[in-house]
């Protein structure tokens, strides 16, 4: 075994241990966490904004924002009055459990029902890092193309929900939706598959229902 592989394995082992500690911490506080993963620009922040606006009377959402450099997304969330902690990865292309664990210190967990973690926009390495989340969401937007599940299978294989976002753009883009759906189903028959447009509101109810079911798994969730 090369030295390099050995070091990588050690990093992953430490990450998994901290992720497990986060999981215990969140379980003790009875807060499920959703890890949002996607390429940059697929609409993660808009999905969070929509959830905060629509669920504010019933679900208290706290947000951890991962960003390589700016605080722009955190500012958008703060503008809605939701508790948010910014993690600046200083150019780093994914979140790691130790960063999330530290960010949790800055949130009042007793005042939350749900934690949403916006990962750094990247379809590759965020998948490898357990953040102690309860559910994983993979988001893909129409302009990115239907071939992304085939090209980045691990993200879609490990997701609990796959969100096809910006569906209002379908008439303008060459996006083969049956092929996309077939590829997602081939990789992950059990994931929820949602079609959403935050711009027109189409499918937003499905996203809200999915989040409500994460918060209250035993409740009957209707529309
Ligand atoms: Mg964002
Ligand atoms: Zn990375």
Residue with tokens 């996607």: 38
| Ligand 1 midpoint to CA 140 (Å) | 13
pTM over 0.85: yes
| Ligand 1 midpoint to CA 104 (Å) | 19
| Ligand 1 midpoint to CA 76 (Å) | 9
- Going from the C-alpha of 97 to that of each of 87, 119, 129, 146, 222, the distances in angstroms are 11, 11, 7, 31, 34
> 37 with 119: CB under 8 angstroms?
yes
By three-state DSSP, how is residue 158 classified? coil
Q: Could you tell me the two tokens for 179?
A: 């092929």
By three-state DSSP, how is residue 42 classified? coil
> Could you tell me if residue 26 is inside a domain?
yes
Count of structural domains, the chain:
1
124 burial (CB, 10 Å; 0-12 / 13-18 / 19+) is middle
CATH number at residue 126: 3.40.50.300
Domain residues for 83? 2-217
Neighbours of ion ligand 1 (CB under 5 A): 44-45, 73
> Could you tell me if residue 137 is inside a domain?
yes
> Could you tell me if residue 66 is inside a domain?
yes
Per-position pLDDT tens, the chain of length 223: 677 778 888 889 999 999 999 999 999 999 999 999 999 999 999 999 999 999 999 999 999 999 988 999 999 999 999 999 999 998 899 999 999 999 999 999 999 999 999 999 999 999 999 999 999 999 999 999 999 999 999 999 999 999 999 999 999 999 999 999 999 999 999 999 999 999 999 999 999 999 999 999 776 555 4
> Could you tell me if residue 9 is inside a domain?
yes
> Could you tell me if residue 138 is inside a domain?
yes
């Amino acid at each position: 075994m090369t030295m390099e592989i050995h070091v990588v394995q050690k990093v992953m082992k430490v990450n998994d241990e901290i992720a497990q500690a986060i999981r215990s911490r969140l379980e003790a506080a009875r807060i499920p966490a959703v890890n949002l993963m996607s390429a940059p620009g697929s609409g993660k922040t808009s999905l969070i904004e929509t959830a905060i606006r629509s669920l504010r009377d019933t679900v208290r959402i706290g947000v951890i924002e991962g960003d390589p450099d700016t605080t722009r997304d955190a500012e958008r969330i703060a503008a809605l009055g939701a508790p948010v902690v910014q993690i600046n990865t200083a150019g780093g292309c994914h979140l790691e459990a130790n960063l999330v664990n530290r960010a949790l210190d800055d949130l009042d967990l007793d005042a939350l029902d749900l934690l949403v973690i916006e990962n750094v926009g990247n379809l590759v390495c965020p998948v490898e890092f357990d953040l102690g989340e309860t559910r994983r969401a993979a988001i893909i937007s129409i302009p990115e193309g239907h071939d992304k599940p085939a090209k980045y299978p691990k993200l879609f294989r490990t997701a609990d929900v796959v969100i096809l976002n910006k569906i209002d753009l379908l008439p303008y883009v060459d996006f083969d939706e049956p092929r996309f759906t077939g590829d997602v189903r081939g990789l992950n028959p059990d994931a929820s598959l949602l079609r959403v447009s935050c711009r027109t509101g189409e499918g937003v109810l499905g996203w809200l229902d999915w989040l409500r079911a994460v918060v209250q798994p035993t409740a009957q969730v209707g529309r």
